[in-house]
Structure 1
Amino acid sequence: MRLIADEAERLTGTLVLRGLGLDRLPDTLFDLTHLQVLDLGTPDWRSNQSSINRIDAQREQFGRLIHLKSLSVVGSDLASLVSFQTMRSLEQLDWTLAHKSPGAVGVRVLAGIEASR
C-alpha cells in the first residue's frame, strides 16, 4: 500500500488510513515501529459500512508498534481492547464499536488498561 510505503520512507510518525474499508491491514503496517499516531477510524461508519477497516483479527499485532501514542479505531470491527493493555506508550485510544453500541464493556476495558499501568 502506497501510504504505508510513503511513511516508511518519510518517517513522519503519523499515518492516516481512515475509512479505507480494508479487509485486512497490510503486514508492512506493523513494521512501522516508529509510528506515534495511527488513524484507522471510520468517521461515517453508521452510514457507510463499506468504509469500515477490519482490524479485529490482527489486534495482537498492534503491540509491535512500541512508540504508538495515539490510536483511532472508531467504527472499526475491533471487539476487544484487552490486547492494548501492554502498550505502555499508548496515551490516547479513540474507540467506538461499529457492530455494537458503545457502552459499559468498552469503559471497563479502558479502565483496566489504565489500572494496569
Structure 2
Amino acid sequence: MTIKQEISWTDFEKIDMRCGTIVSVDDFEKARNPSYRLEIDFGDLGIKKSSAQITSLYTKEELVGKQILAVVNFPKKQIANFFSECLVLGVYGENKSDVTLLTASLPVTNGMQVG
C-alpha cells in the first residue's frame, strides 16, 4: 500500500468536513456504477445532495437517519443528470465497491465540523 504525496497543514485546513444526517435515499439509475442519490441535513448549512456508491453494504432503509461524515466545500460535480454537492466519506474494502461509511460514534449536531 502506498501513501499519497505529503500535504501541508495549511492544505488540510482547507478541507471542510462536517457531520450530517441522511434524510432521503433514492436509487441512482443513471449512474455508471450502482449508486444512491442522498439528501443530507447539515444543520445551518442546509440540505446537500450527494451520489454515493454504497449499495453493496447498505440498503436505502437503513441509511435514512444515519449520521455520516462528508466534505462539504468541493465544487458541485455533475454525475449524469445529477449535481453532487458534497463527498460522503467511507473506507474501501478489499473489493472497492464495498465502502463502509465514516460515522460519529455518538450523536452530534448536524453541521458540526470534523477536527
Tell me if both proteins adopt one fold, taking TM over 0.5 as the criterion. Answer: no
**Greater percentage in strand:** 2
Q: Answer with 1 or 2: which has the greater Rg.
A: 2
**TM-score, normalising length: structure 1:** 0.21
Higher RCO structure (Cα 8 Å, ≥6 apart): 2
**Higher-helix-fraction structure:** 1
TM-score (norm 2): 0.22
